[in-house]
């Protein structure tokens, strides 16, 4: 096994909860002791329901949020505590792709200007070299070069999305964090975009962190998957294995909740009750115990750690088998 490209150790991100008079009345624990590693060239899916901290995780890795505690090792350097100017040379290798990358284009700039900008900020290439790089990337995302002189409103939404992706790739990053890249897309368009992600990954040797709530997409394109619940990874492992034999009761419920066309109807079989508790007021012990069908006294006392008891699969549950 080669050295991991990204290593996250006990990462915490707490947001202060303040009352009307700005006094801190508690902490929202968006990320609580999250640890995992990412191998070069792999696609790691991060799934969970809204409020589980998956987007916070992506943003903290990117330095958009500063970590409260913990280490983020990227190329053997801890980038968590770095000041923005110190981390600039690392950040260009680590890119963040918003839900709709097209929306981040400046409406008053031509596509060319938007694509040149990251190169001007991060590299000292001259204009000819930049232009060459821009053209190469534009071809890779499947857009004609004539689009360089157009403005964002002159091209379709799908093409804007491609330009947004091109903009991320101009710096030749090694890790790209994709935050809900397919939510809000219709299925017929979704397949095209996913194929583009896969071909770009091949072409540029990218590593993806694929943050999503859509399990059927994750199942198709991710090598490994991490399931989060209320700021914590409850299960992580190889995608095929997690989907075939989920160990954590939450993963089991999550998988059971996806409608399966042709199969038994979820509305007849689904059993999980209630909704996730507020992350500002977590239950003691295991966070899932308030909804867990298997909860026992031990679950309220002890917070289970991630156990790697199965080959290529780990789960944080006292009673997982």
Partner 1 sequence: MESDLITVRDLRVAFAADAGLAKVLDGVSCAIRPGEIRGLVGESGCGKTTLARAILGILPRNSARIEGGQVLFGGRDLLKVPEAALAREVRGREIAYIPQDPSTAFNPVFTIGTQIADLMHWKSPLLRDPNFKGNARARRAADLARVVEWLRLVQLPNPEALLRKYPHEVSGGQRQRLMIAMALLPEPKLVIADEPTTALDVTVQAQILKLLKGLARERNVAVLFTTHDLGAAYEICDRITVMYAGQEVEEAPVAEFFNRPSHPYTRKLLDSLPSAETGLRGIPGEIPRLIDPPPGCRFNPRCDRATEICQQRPAPELASPGHSVRCHHRLTEFAA
Give the interface with partner 1 as residue ranges (CB under 8 A). 49-50, 156, 158, 186-192, 194-195, 198, 213, 215-217, 219-220, 253-254, 256-262, 265-268, 270, 272-273, 275
Min dist CB 116 to partner 1, Å, is 28
Min dist CB 162 to partner 1, Å, is 13
Output 216 or 280, the one with its CB closest to partner 1.
216
Q: Rounded CA gap, 136 and 204, in Å?
A: 11
Residue the block writes with tokens 């999250």: 34
Output 134 or 143, the one with its CB closest to partner 1.
143
Output 78 or 223, the one with its CB closest to partner 1.
223
CA quadruple 170, 175, 177, 181: dihedral, nearest 10: 60
Phi, psi values for residue 272, rounded to 5°: -60, 130
In this structure, which long-range contacts are made by residues 214-217, counting pairs with CB atoms below 8 Å and at least 24 apart in sequence?
214/182, 214/183, 215/47, 215/254, 215/255, 215/258, 216/258, 217/182, 217/190
Q: Which two tokens stand for residue 261?
A: 């066309």
Half-sphere exposure of 81 (CA within 13 A, CB side): 5
Min dist CB 248 to partner 1, Å, is 14
Output 63 or 231, the one with its CB closest to partner 1.
231
Min dist CB 185 to partner 1, Å, is 9
Output 74 or 197, the one with its CB closest to partner 1.
197
Q: Which two tokens stand for residue 1?
A: 């096994």
Output 18 or 260, the one with its CB closest to partner 1.
260
Residue 44 pairs in a beta bridge with 209, 224
Min dist CB 76 to partner 1, Å, is 35
Min dist CB 239 to partner 1, Å, is 11
Q: Which two tokens stand for residue 296?
A: 């026992």
């Amino acid at each position: 096994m080669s050295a991991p490209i990204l290593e996250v150790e006990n990462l915490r991100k707490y947001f202060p909860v303040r009352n009307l008079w700005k006094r801190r009345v508690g902490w929202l624990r968006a990320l609580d002791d999250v640890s995992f590693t990412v191998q070069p060239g792999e696609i790691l899916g991060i799934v969970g329901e809204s409020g589980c901290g998956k987007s916070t995780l992506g943003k903290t890795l990117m330095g958009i949020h500063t970590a409260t505690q913990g280490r983020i090792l990227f190329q053997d350097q801890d980038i968590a505590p770095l000041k923005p100017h110190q981390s600039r040379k690392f950040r260009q290798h680590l890119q963040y792709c918003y839900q709709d990358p097209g929306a981040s284009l400046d409406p008053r700039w031509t596509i060319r200007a938007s694509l040149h900008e990251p190169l001007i900020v991060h590299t000292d290439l001259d204009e000819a070299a930049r232009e060459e790089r821009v053209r190469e990337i534009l071809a890779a995302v499947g857009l004609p070069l004539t689009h360089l002189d157009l403005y964002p409103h002159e091209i379709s939404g799908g093409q804007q999305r491609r330009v947004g992706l091109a903009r991320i790739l101009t710096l030749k990053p090694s890790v790209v964090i994709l935050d809900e890249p397919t939510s809000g897309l219709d299925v017929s368009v979704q397949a095209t975009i996913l194929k583009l992600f896969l071909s770009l990954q091949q072409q540029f040797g990218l590593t993806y962190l694929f943050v999503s709530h859509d399990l059927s997409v994750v199942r198709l394109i991710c090598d490994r998957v991490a399931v989060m619940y209320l700021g914590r990874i409850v299960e992580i492992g190889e995608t095929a294995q997690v989907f075939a034999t989920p160990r954590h009761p939450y993963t089991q419920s999550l998988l059971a909740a996806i409608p399966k066309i042709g199969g038994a109807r979820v509305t007849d079989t689904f059993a999980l009750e209630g909704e996730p508790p507020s992350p500002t007021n977590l239950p003691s012990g295991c966070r899932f115990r308030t909804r867990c069908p298997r909860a026992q006294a031990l679950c309220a006392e002890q917070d289970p750690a991630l156990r790697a008891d199965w080959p290529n699969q780990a789960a944080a549950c006292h009673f997982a088998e």
